[in-house]
Amino acid sequence: MQNQYFVDGGHLSEEALQKKHQLEHDPACRTNHMEYLPGMEQISSDIAQRVLSEMDGYSYSHYTAKDVTAALGHPTCSIEDLKALLSPAAEPFLEQMAVRAHQETQKHFGNTVYLFTPLYIANYCENYCVYCGFNCYNHISRMKLSMEQIEHEMKIIADSGMEEILLLTGESHSMSDISYIGNACKLARKYFRMVGLEIYPVNTEDYRYLHECGADYVTVFQETYDTDKYETLHLLGHKRIWPYRFDAQERALRAGMRGVACSALLGLSDFRKDALATALHAYYLQRKYPHAELSLSCPRLRPIINNDKINPLDVHETQLCQIICAYRIFLPFAGITVSSRESVSFRDGIMKIAATKVSAGVSTGIGDHESKYTGKEADGASGDEQFEINDSRSFTTMYKDIAKEGLQPVLNDYLYI
């Protein structure tokens, strides 16, 4: 992938436009999405095979109210029970599912809700993912923060009281290389007690280096576990390779990361099958790496710049609540994150039931925290956002709102000795 495909305030070249057209209309010009590219590490693991086997065999229309009642009556939730709880037959049982999910949350997390904020340090990307605002053919303002700018953003965020940060980049190996991300981790460790990463998947040695630089955990969105649908959505770049992305969490754990998060972007494909696969991905990782801190994210599609057709039309809040409750019942120890993609009312409600982590003071743009946190215009340019957020509450407001609900907002519970 050459840098000339980046749209950086100008127009695509004729060559780039022709390439884009070919990728969209001629599958033969695309690389095989199930074959590794040179330099991609392959590990020996059967987790992907097990997840795909369960997902492919999941016929959720076959489940009945009797199956759901039985699942809710079992003291522990089996894979078969999870399938029933994710089925359409479970929708009339949402209140009972919420009660059970709340009980499990109270048992393992009490009334605590953890707070964090994301910091996007670059939005250059070498992938062509048709649903993402950062994709290399989207005409947006691109930016990569310098270390001085990163530290300035971090100081503003830390001064607000936040103690956990999630560092994100677009997926560009050339514009956001491992040393750049590593140096950002080192800066983050100066200001925050917990540092997460949401970057392009890398090999085990690179994850080990980033862990040594200060990263604690890694989040990777598989986007959709449906390999056929995945192929039609990811037309160019390293992200196109489905199995390399799937194994990213396991490589991170092998490298010493304390925790990993799994997620599908609900609405890209059959959301019930994607929800099942996400839960099983975390479940099999937990069984294989019992020391690891496992968590699940539950994002839905959101509108992006230059594409008004992107919207979570088939995954409504009721169905999202069903998924999150099923996650909690099946994986009572796992963290569950609900992002600012969702509305204020939904996030306030789901925190009382099953969610254990929420973002606050969010910006998905580049270099604009000063204006958003202080109202002061930031020096220099800023980069466009990856997607539109729905809950724009500041850290202070979110903290107070959580406390008003009788919950305990937590900034960090991990001590380095």
**pLDDT tens by residue, 194-238:** 999 999 999 999 999 999 999 999 999 999 999 999 999 999 999
Question: Is it the case that residue 378 has pLDDT exceeding 90?
Answer: no
Which residues, in sequence order, are CB contacts of 399 under 8 Å at separation 6+? 115, 161, 360, 409
Domains and CATH numbers, the chain: 3-410 (3.20.20.70)
- Alpha carbon distance 349, 351 (integer Å): 5
Q: Does position 298 have pLDDT exceeding 70, yes or no?
A: yes
Measured distance CA(341)–CA(388) in Å, rounded:
7
In 3-state terms, the chain is what percent helix, strand and coil (to 5)? 45, 15, 40
What is the structure's pLDDT at 86?
A: 98
d(CA 64, CA 87): 8
Distance CA 188, CA 165 (A): 8
Angle between helices 317-330 and 344-351 (to 10 degrees): 20
Q: Which two tokens stand for residue 375?
A: 């109202």
Whole-number pLDDT of residue 107:
97
Model confidence pLDDT, tens digit, residues 15-35: 777 778 788 888 887 899 999
Phi first, then psi: give them for residue 409, nearest 5 degrees: -70, 130
